[in-house]
Amino acid sequence: MTGRTALVTGASSGIGAETARVIAGEGAAVALLSRNEPALEAVRKEIADAGGRACVAPADLRDPDAVESAVARCVDRFGPVDLLVSNAGYGMRQAFLVDQTEENWQHTLDVNLTGAFRVCRLVVPTMMERASGSIVIVSSVAGRRGIPANTAYCASKFGLRGLAESLALELGPFGVRVNAVLPGLVDTPGLDEGERYGRDFIASLAEHHGLDGLTWERYVRHAVRNTALRRLLSATEVAHLIAYLLSDFSSGITGQSVGIDGGAI
């Protein structure tokens, strides 16, 4: 990836941060985008200390002007975007539809789906002009099958698959590839924050499906047992798949939604 410019959203932690490290290690100059500027700066320093190149481009994906400024900052620093990883995601306060507020429904779709649309729309024109580029959109196993108490999250992640597959058909004649990645449960900081991410979800399941005694920890253990590998995935494993789909090694692959879920059953 030497000589190429990459933009990674949701790059402050988890899959996004690890993907940025991996592709920087392969020679790409990486722009790091998320709301958390101090965390982005920490990732940038890690990349720089390892001999890579990165810059920080903080923005809230719900703010179109901020996203446009962040992408412009990336282009000013490293040149037009060759590789895009649309990874930023929001999954808090998920619940049964009857419990879901319109505010949180909109927040979920605005970050996960509309945020991806905003970033893609900004970088795609120069990819078309140069007849080159690769985009990976991070969806989820929740973009392949429904999950109770996740109506907003699943709707957004199914939408990302549609965005990726449709955009691939639009951009194929211009030599630009677009694929989606669908991770399962990944060992990232958010997975340990059950009170933050799982509280409303578990409460909604308990109320409507009568699952008394269910906890976030028990839910995660059950989900892991229902995979062929019977373990959590690592962010590095997902990052390596993303890097492969960005690279010329996958030059014949576009319009695909590729699962990496440990063999969910």
pLDDT tier, 197 (very low <50, low <70, confident <90, very high otherwise)? low
Q: What is the DSSP string of 22-69?
A: HHHHTT-EEEEESS-HHHHHHHHHHHHHTT-EEEE----TT-HHHHHH
| Cα dist from 76 to 35, 69, 79, 107, 192, whole Å | 20, 10, 6, 30, 37
Asked whether the predicted pLDDT for residue 190 surpasses 90, the reply is: no
* Measured distance between the N- and C-terminal CA atoms of the chain, rounded to whole angstroms: 35
67-79 average pLDDT score: 97
What 3-state DSSP class applies to 176?
A: strand
Asked whether the predicted pLDDT for residue 194 surpasses 80, the reply is: no
153 part of the active site:
yes
For the stretch 2-59, pLDDT in tens is: 999 999 999 999 999 999 999 999 999 999 999 999 999 999 999 999 999 999 999 9
For the stretch 218-249, pLDDT in tens is: 999 999 999 999 999 999 999 999 999 999 99
Please give the sequence-ordered ranges of beta strands (E in DSSP) within the chain, or none if there are none. 5-9, 29-33, 53-56, 83-86, 133-138, 176-183, 257-260
Q: Which residue has the tokens 């920890």?
A: 217
Looking at the domain that runs over 5-91+100-185+234-254, which CATH code has it been given?
A: 3.40.50.720
Phi-psi region of 254 (alpha: psi -120 to 50; beta: other; left: phi over 0): beta
| Residue among 86, 84, 88 nearest 12 (CA) | 88
Q: Which residue type occupies 32?
A: L
Residue 213: φ, ψ to 5°: 85, -5
State the Cα–Cα distance between residues 174 and 132, nearest whole angstrom.
7
Cβ–Cβ < 8 Å for 76, 49:
no
Residue 233: φ, ψ to 5°: -80, 160
179-198 average pLDDT score: 84
Asked whether the predicted pLDDT for residue 195 surpasses 80, the reply is: no
The domain ranges of the chain are 5-91+100-185+234-254
Cβ–Cβ < 8 Å for 23, 83:
yes
185-206 average pLDDT score: 83
For the stretch 118-169, pLDDT in tens is: 999 999 999 999 999 999 999 999 999 999 999 999 999 999 999 999 999 9
| Residue among 191, 165, 63, 78 nearest 119 (CA) | 63
- In the structure encoding, which two tokens stand for residue 244, read together? 């492969």
Residues in Cβ contact with 241 at an 8 Å cutoff, skipping those fewer than 6 apart: 181, 258, 260
76-91 average pLDDT score: 97
Catalytic member of 90, 153, 197, 244: 153
Q: Residue 264: what pLDDT?
A: 84
Q: Long-range contacts for 53-59 (Cβ within 8 Å, ≥24 apart)? A: 53/24, 53/29, 53/78, 54/20, 54/24, 54/29, 54/30, 55/29, 55/30, 55/31, 56/31, 56/32, 57/7, 57/31, 57/32, 57/33, 58/33, 58/34, 59/33, 59/34, 59/35
